[in-house]
Structure 1
Amino acid sequence: MTAAHPSSHAKWVWLLFALVLIVAPLLFPQSAALSILSQCGSMMILALSFNMLLGQSGMLSFGHALYAGLPAFAAAHAMNRLAGAGAAALLFVPLLGGLAGLACGALFGYVTTRKSGTALSMISLALVEMAAAAVLMFPAWFGGESGVSTDRVLGTPLFGIDFASPLQVYYLIAFWLFVSCAAMYALTRTPLGRIANAVRDNPERAAFVGHDPRRVRYLMFMLAAFFAGIGGALGAINFEIVSAENLGLLRSAQILLFTFIGGIGYFFGPLLGALVGVLFSGLLSTYTRGWQLYLGLLFACIVLFAPGGLAGIWIGAVSTWRRLTLSQLRRLAKPFSMLLAAGLLMICAGVYLIEMLYRHAAEGGDGAPVSVGLMGLSIGVLLVAAAVMRSARQRYLHTLAMMDEEARS
């Protein structure tokens, strides 16, 4: 029997991705859930476009929100101008946002990509701060502190679709998400995508074989800005308002965190990071005021213990477990169970301690005093669980090493 061609596996992955996008709103039909799904879609495009800079081309930009925020304002003004043009016009607003992002990338990217490394990061930081300051200087375009409001219902429905309902907006975002993902994935397979990887890894060698690193960075920067513009326009369609927050440093940092949490070394990593990040900010924030602390702790743990991100953890686990036999999996079951149990216990103790302190701070210190005994118990459980987790991890890795030696012998 012949092995399946890699392209056939890729086709099944894309079909599964399309199926998930179609079925997701049917599983979560609530209005709040549809809003979160739509936010996930636009954020996934932003994270993937940012990874074109960081993961693919080696450019750490602190101002990626600039190339989503300015196109979002352009999309809002376009929707206000297109009022009465019909629902069909809304289908092309994301493309208009992408062209606006491309123009911004061509303008600001020319300055940014003249340098590389730390200098590029500092230039991008300066540009996004300048753009944030310009919001109050040009109220006619940016709408001042209140921003620019718009209406996504542009008039005559198209086959009964007027994009007034959250479900219709979600499918619009899902369509552009799928198209953008396919286009960005195809770009990684082009000569430009390969050369961008070469410039990331060794710009001197890329220049030696005839490729100008600055030109490659500039082209990738413009393309990343194009897709960021699509994501920004979709966000404007979803929320029907664009403000200074859309192009501030905080938004750029959010995109950076989500992308790194997902994993910059894998194409689908930013998709996972965007999903987790939106769930933290959109769902977990409704239950606790400490969601930003939890997100920061997750980011720190990823940087320290899993630099490959969530995608790296998944790929590593799958590749390791697929090559093991049933008897070997049984040998790993005990240390893995101890590792999992200790990790869950440590998370529970940490969450209890953080929520207890947040609740006391919310009461202004006037409520019941914090129990020193419960705090000490939580810290004790946290330390014990950390020690058990470290021991279980060492045992797990030792068992894997022994299995590798047995397989080689």
Structure 2
Amino acid sequence: MTAIDRALPAMRPVGVRSSPLAAVAPWLLGAAILLALPFVFPSRTGFTIMNAIGINVVFALSYNMLLGQGGMLSFGHAVWFGLGGFAAMHMMVAIDKLALPVPVFLLPLVGFAAGLLAGAVLGWPICRRAGTPFAMITLGIGELIAAAGLMFVTVFGGEEGIKGDRVVGPMLFGLDLGPQGGVYWFIAFWVFAAALAMWAFTRTPLGRLSLAVRDNPDRVPFIGYDPQRVRYLVFMVASGFAGLAGGMAAVNYEILTPQIFGALTSGNVLLMAFIGGLGAFYGPILGAVLIVLMQSMLSDYTEGWQLYVGLLFMGLVMFAPGGLASMVEGGARAVRRGDWRERAPAWASGALAFAVLAAGIVLLVELAFRAHGGGALRLAGLTLRPGDAMGWIIGIALVSLGAGLLRLLTRRGHDGDTARPA
């Protein structure tokens, strides 16, 4: 059983009834956060990061419809993101040159339509297979479209890409899309609308059928449905929302290049969804926030930020295949059961062990990156140089101590589970 297989069963059943207040409260909280963020982070840098997070939230949620909801592992989800983005970009150019009375605010809908149409055309042959063949086909389609992006210059602009101007056309709601602050409100609106629409999709019969196809496709025909058709329809909808995210990106960045179709973009959205957690609707949101922050802020402090993303992914695969959301859900269950006080010491010990292990890994990685540059690392009042043995000894000692503590805690946890009566 793979890590993805272990993560998928954690998906909360969408048919579980809840009180109206419990269903509405998360959306009221989300809306309040979106309204408050511009006042908490009013700088241009803050708006730039928040806009990137919003785009990736919608992109990651659309990918979760495929993998978390439908069990379809795709290595080419960037195709629908890019096609939706280029469709919106061409419409933006047409609004400027032809003076079309179309508000730029509505361009994500153009991206949605383009992604949906592309998913309908290309998704029919792709969805004829499931499992590993499906993943390999999406990888091939992704590479094919990425190569075509450089070949068809009139459509994709070649290496220079296509540029647009988001301040053209009539305003909607009096919103000026020139400054980053105005773009934030544009993105906040579409993030909330798209997230609400994707959540509503999980409550539909098709959304529930996708869970059945994911968990046991052999039984679905016995209730009168074709698993291939269910996968195809879910694929179309997920492609449409990926295209909507691409339309948001076109307005935000005002330039798109064929690199958007590459495996890097598809791998990035897979990381966001998996790290955040496939087992909860909000999981990809957590993953998108974390990955964008690591890309935009951690890269200012270290050249090895991509390595840290990979190490984080490996750690979650090994210790928490349900992602960050599984940790949140575990804590929430303990609070509901009232045994969180009993579990708190184990959580604190585990957090300490991970902190010691992470500190050792960071120290070794930073020393390795400075081995060629010759720079010194200043940490906790100490000056450590790659050429000195002291830094390496401390790093190895911290890694060994953290790994040993984790092993001890894991063994104690297994012993406790075994001793606990059924």
TM-score strictly above 0.5: yes
Sort the Cα spacing of 1:294 and 1:209 in 2 relative to 1 into closer, same or farther, 3 A.
Answer: same
Equivalent-residue separation in structure 2 for 1:78 and 1:194 (angstroms): 35
Kindly indicate whether residue 288 of structure 2 is the aligned counterpart of residue 288 of structure 1: no
Equivalent-residue separation in structure 1 for 2:316 and 2:169 (angstroms): 47
**Residues 141-150 or 79-88, more deviating:** 79-88
Equivalent-residue separation in structure 2 for 1:161 and 1:87 (angstroms): 16
Kindly indicate whether residue 388 of structure 2 is the aligned counterpart of residue 371 of structure 1: yes
2:230 is aligned with what amino acid? V
What is the Cα deviation at residue 92 of structure 1?
1.1
Alignment size in residue pairs: 398
What is the Cα deviation at residue 335 of structure 1?
3.8
The answer to whether the 8 A contact 2:370-2:386 is kept is no
What is the Cα deviation at residue 300 of structure 1?
0.6
Unaligned runs of 5+ in 2: 1-16, 377-384
Kindly indicate whether residue 91 of structure 2 is the aligned counterpart of residue 78 of structure 1: yes
Equivalent-residue separation in structure 2 for 1:362 and 1:197 (angstroms): 51
Kindly indicate whether residue 203 of structure 2 is the aligned counterpart of residue 189 of structure 1: yes
Match of residue 398 from structure 2? 381
What is the Cα deviation at residue 363 of structure 1?
4.5
Sort the Cα spacing of 1:400 and 1:324 in 2 relative to 1 into closer, same or farther, 3 A.
Answer: farther
Equivalent-residue separation in structure 2 for 1:159 and 1:20 (angstroms): 21
Unaligned runs of 5+ in 1: none
Kindly indicate whether residue 74 of structure 2 is the aligned counterpart of residue 57 of structure 1: no
- TM normalised by structure 2 equals 0.89
- TM normalised by structure 1 equals 0.91
**Residues 280-289 or 122-131, more deviating:** 280-289
Q: Percent of aligned pairs with the same residue?
A: 43
The answer to whether the 8 A contact 1:66-1:247 is kept is yes
The answer to whether the 8 A contact 1:75-1:94 is kept is yes
Sort the Cα spacing of 1:60 and 1:15 in 2 relative to 1 into closer, same or farther, 3 A.
Answer: same
Sort the Cα spacing of 1:360 and 1:87 in 2 relative to 1 into closer, same or farther, 3 A.
Answer: farther
What is the Cα deviation at residue 111 of structure 1?
1.2
What is the Cα deviation at residue 334 of structure 1?
3.8
The answer to whether the 8 A contact 1:87-1:154 is kept is no
Match of residue 261 from structure 1? 275
Sort the Cα spacing of 1:393 and 1:242 in 2 relative to 1 into closer, same or farther, 3 A.
Answer: same
Instruction: State the Cα deviation string for residues 217-267 of structure 1 (Å, max 9, x = none).
Output: 111111001100100110111111101221111100111111011111211
Match of residue 370 from structure 2? 359
Match of residue 299 from structure 1? 313
Match of residue 335 from structure 2? 321
Match of residue 45 from structure 2? 32
1:114 is aligned with what amino acid? R
Match of residue 391 from structure 1? 408
Equivalent-residue separation in structure 2 for 1:195 and 1:384 (angstroms): 47
What is the Cα deviation at residue 359 of structure 1?
1.8
Match of residue 45 from structure 1? 58
Alignment partner of 2:77: what SS? coil
Sort the Cα spacing of 1:24 and 1:120 in 2 relative to 1 into closer, same or farther, 3 A.
Answer: same
What is the Cα deviation at residue 362 of structure 1?
3.6
**Residues 131-140 or 147-156, more deviating:** 147-156
Instruction: State the Cα deviation string for residues 332-365 of structure 1 (Å, max 9, x = none).
Output: 4444333222221221221111111112234599
- State the superposition RMSD in angstroms: 2.3
Match of residue 348 from structure 1? 359
Alignment partner of 1:162: what SS? coil
Alignment partner of 2:69: what SS? coil
Match of residue 68 from structure 1? 81
Sort the Cα spacing of 1:364 and 1:129 in 2 relative to 1 into closer, same or farther, 3 A.
Answer: farther
The answer to whether the 8 A contact 2:87-2:111 is kept is yes
Equivalent-residue separation in structure 1 for 2:292 and 2:90 (angstroms): 26
What is the Cα deviation at residue 87 of structure 1?
9.1
What is the Cα deviation at residue 391 of structure 1?
2.2
Sort the Cα spacing of 1:87 and 1:285 in 2 relative to 1 into closer, same or farther, 3 A.
Answer: farther
1:19 to 32, 40, 43: 32
Equivalent-residue separation in structure 1 for 2:126 and 2:209 (angstroms): 19
Which structure 2 residues correspond to residues 106-121 of structure 1 after superposition, within 5 A?
A: 106-121=120-135
Equivalent-residue separation in structure 2 for 1:363 and 1:108 (angstroms): 51
1:187 is aligned with what amino acid? F
